[in-house]
Amino acid sequence: MAEIVLETHGLTMRFGGVVAANNVDFKLRARELRCLIGPNGAGKSTFFKCVTGLQTPTEGEVCMRGLETTQWLPHQIASLGVGIKTQTPNVMDALSVFENIWLGARRFHDPREATRKTHEIIERLALGSIARADLGRLAHGERQRVELGLVAVGDPWLVLLDEPAAGMSAEDVERMTGIIHELNKSAAIIIVEHDMQFIRSIAEMVTVFHQGAVLMEDHVDRVMSDPTVRNVYLGKKA
């Protein structure tokens, strides 16, 4: 069995009287790809924020490769080699694609190596034609792809993606799928996602959140055919 890279014990997050995440136990092994699904307000985004340090959980603990990171801030978690992409495209708008990715590379490499890495990523992500363009002028799909480039350039061993396919064209989604599979060769990946089509195309293991807790955790096909899941999630969507 591969090493456990991410683990939570009894992770709980309360906002006033609302329990957004309730006693979540979660395990992820190296090079695993896992999708988190669930209806709106199911707690998957809260879970994501607690794991990435954007929020500090009320109770419970988060461990990464055996290190307890519960109270850590996002930059400390990212420095471990964790690549994070938030829901909306979160990039440096006034800077070019090259500059954006270079900043991602510079965190882990000296300037010369960072430049080399940046070229490599730009080639891998087929961003060459827009490398000099400012991010603010790019289309949504391109911005999402650049942000994946920011994530990939750090050679992460754990990648956390919040709705990477949201609002993208079919072509963009296909490209994105390719990039994610490529990343998955060296990193464990968690994807928070709504789009069932996309999930089917990418994942095997799925964790279903419902009312702040984990409802079930199984292979995507079995999850899809499970009556409880259909009821709480798919039923509502239809």
Partner 1 sequence: MITALVTAILIWVMPMFIGTYTLTVLVVYGMLGLSLGLIWGFGGILCFGQAAFFGLGAYTYAIAAINIGESTIPMVLAVLVPAIFAALLGAMMFYGRLTDVYLGVITLVVTLILFKFINSTAGPQYVIGTARLGGFNGIPGFQTLNLPGNPDAYIWGDSYFYVCAVLMAVVFLLVAALLRSSFGRIAIGIRENETRMALMGYDVRARKTVLFAIGAAIAGLAGALFANWGEIVTPNLFSLSQSAEIIIWCIVGGLGTRVGPILGAAGLAYLKFLLGQQSVIDNTLITGLILVLFVLFLPKGIVPAVTGLWKVSFASRPLGRVHQQRRMRQRERFNG
Name the residues that contact partner 1, by CB under 8 A: 52, 73-75, 78-79, 84-86, 90-95, 99, 102-104, 106-108, 111, 134, 136-137, 150, 154
State which residue, 90 or 228, has the beta carbon closest to partner 1.
90
Q: State the Cα–Cα distance between residues 224 and 206, nearest whole angstrom.
A: 10
Q: How far is the CB of 106 from partner 1 (least distance, A)?
A: 6
Q: State the Cα–Cα distance between residues 35 and 189, nearest whole angstrom.
A: 8
State which residue, 22 or 147, has the beta carbon closest to partner 1.
147
Q: How far is the CB of 166 from partner 1 (least distance, A)?
A: 17
State which residue, 71 or 225, has the beta carbon closest to partner 1.
71
State which residue, 108 or 224, has the beta carbon closest to partner 1.
108
- Give one word for 53, left, alpha or beta, with left for phi > 0 and alpha for psi -120 to 50: left
DSSP SS3 for 184: helix
State which residue, 135 or 215, has the beta carbon closest to partner 1.
135
Q: How far is the CB of 210 from partner 1 (least distance, A)?
A: 28
Q: How far is the CB of 69 from partner 1 (least distance, A)?
A: 13
Q: How far is the CB of 36 from partner 1 (least distance, A)?
A: 18
Q: How far is the CB of 10 from partner 1 (least distance, A)?
A: 25
Handedness of CA 37, 183, 71, 53 (dihedral sign): negative
State which residue, 132 or 219, has the beta carbon closest to partner 1.
132
User: Can you list the pairs that 202-205 forms with residues at least 24 positions away whose Cβ atoms lie under 8 Å?
Assistant: 202/33, 202/35, 202/177, 203/33, 203/34, 203/35, 204/33, 205/32, 205/33, 205/34, 205/35
CB burial of residue 12 (10 Å; 0-12, 13-18, 19+)? buried
